[in-house]
Chain A
Amino acid sequence: MSDEKIKVIPCSGIGKVFGLITREVALRVANELCPEDAETLCLSYVVTGDDEVKQKIEGHNCITIDGCATKCAAKNVAYAGGIIKDQYSATEAYKNHRGEYGGTATILTDAGWQMVDELSEKIADKIKNERGDKNNG
């Protein structure tokens, strides 16, 4: 159970740049930075609430990444019974780049990619640290 990959679930919002950032962060963490320790999961599965999906998430460790204050990822994962270990938001990545333009819901600018990379590394570091602690203990 403890060896199971942690689920990184973005809101992937389609309206604004923040949704794209969450999606790119999740893909970067799960596919590139921590492929051994993390995997991603479609939030839409969680929304439809099929039994099969519920099993995938209920009682499992999750990290949510949200694009706006509505916090769809965190809320939906919580409804489905997932354990939210950490919550992140794209706006927090944006705040370090005040006044810069991150892009749109489909294309990121260089500044936008920088935001993605910074948040991805922050999340990956946290995952690795926790895994490391577990393996040593």
Chain B
Amino acid sequence: MEMSKFYTVLPCNGLDKCAGCVARELAIKLATETNSEIICPVLYRVADSRYNEIAAKNPLLVIDGCATRCASKLAAEKGLKIAKKITVTEEAKRKNVKLGTSLRLNEDENLFVNALIKDLLTEEKKIRTEDTTTGFPETFEYELYHKDKFIFRVPKEGFYYTENDTWAYVIGNKARIGVTDFVQKSLSDILFFSPATIGAEVEQFDDLGNIESGKAVFEIISPVTGKVTAINETLLESPELININPYEKGWLAELVLTNFEEDKELLLDFDHYYPIMQRKVDEFDV
């Protein structure tokens, strides 16, 4: 099967400590196993034109060895949009791997590189098996919260949430945005969708238009920073699709991400959003 290019990889390639060598090894393995292209950070410093094109072609994966984040800084300096970022020392901590002092990788460190590759491939597989026309999946698996006769759905995986009850589903450098079941159910029958403008540049927590029911107007607070590339035009005629399922056919907008790594600091995963929504549901008088 032909595999499209997966990432453009910018590793730090630091040769002063093991973490840098892991970053380098990870980049090389990824390039061979997924048909990704590597940007050499040293050459990039002196030869812009060669890499600018490659950098723009595919989502950019930046691999930093340590917290000094040389590769990230280089990307920022060159004005590149980062789709995904890995910091080796943080990943090592997360996976409970102790990095040594030698610049040659030992057996554990090689296994660690393989594990990181596996994580990335799993993510890529997710992207490739998704709806081919838009790249976003059509259906998700939900955790259900029952309150009296009402059921509130929250997708278990792959979503980032805000405490303003909006979500982002991210693939590469694109995100789809919507509201959660809490918004949909507390508004009740949604009658109007006033979308954001295509091409508009929004920052995290700016508004992306609003949705309105007979009860209230809800301002859609963007979970992410980026440029609006699409809105769900079917909602203009049929805003009730948001009531039917706000995560699937009821999505609101799509954005190209421009600052996702930083946006993430203030985003919640399922484990953190779910209890917040539960509390809101319990306090909400239906």
Give chain A residues whose Cβ lies under 8 Å from the Cβ of B240. 68-69, 91
The total of chain B residues at the interface (CB under 8 A) is 10
Residue of B whose beta carbon sits closest to that of A97: B214
Can you list, as one digit per residue, whether each of A74-118 has a CB less than 8 Å from chain B (1) or not (0)?
000000000000000001001100100110000000000000000
Residue of B whose beta carbon sits closest to that of A15: B188
Give chain A residues whose Cβ lies under 8 Å from the Cβ of B192. 95, 98
Can you list, as one digit per residue, whether each of B224-246 has a CB less than 8 Å from chain A (1) or not (0)?
00000000000000001101100
Give chain B residues whose Cβ lies under 8 Å from the Cβ of A18. 189, 214
Q: Which of B188, B214, B240 has the most CB of A within 10 A?
A: B214
B191 near A: Cβ within 8 Å? yes
Residue of B whose beta carbon sits closest to that of A68: B189
B residues touching A (Cβ–Cβ < 8 Å)? 188-189, 191-192, 212, 214, 240-241, 243-244
CA gap between A102 and B215 in the complex, in Å:
10
A105 CB → nearest B CB, Å: 12
Give chain B residues whose Cβ lies under 8 Å from the Cβ of A69. 189, 240-241, 243-244
- What are 6 A-B contacts with C-beta separation under 8 Å? A68-B189, A69-B244, A91-B191, A91-B240, A94-B191, A95-B191
CA gap between A126 and B212 in the complex, in Å:
30
CA gap between A67 and B240 in the complex, in Å:
11
Give chain A residues whose Cβ lies under 8 Å from the Cβ of B191. 91, 94-95, 98
B195 CB → nearest A CB, Å: 16
CA gap between A101 and B188 in the complex, in Å:
14
CA gap between A112 and B244 in the complex, in Å:
25
CA gap between A88 and B215 in the complex, in Å:
21
Give chain A residues whose Cβ lies under 8 Å from the Cβ of B243. 68-69
CA gap between A18 and B213 in the complex, in Å:
12
A16 near B: Cβ within 8 Å? yes
CA gap between A92 and B189 in the complex, in Å:
11
Residue of B whose beta carbon sits closest to that of A100: B214
Give chain B residues whose Cβ lies under 8 Å from the Cβ of A91. 189, 191, 240
CA gap between A95 and B189 in the complex, in Å:
11
Can you list, as one digit per residue, whether each of A32-65 has a CB less than 8 Å from chain B (1) or not (0)?
0000000000000000000000000000000000
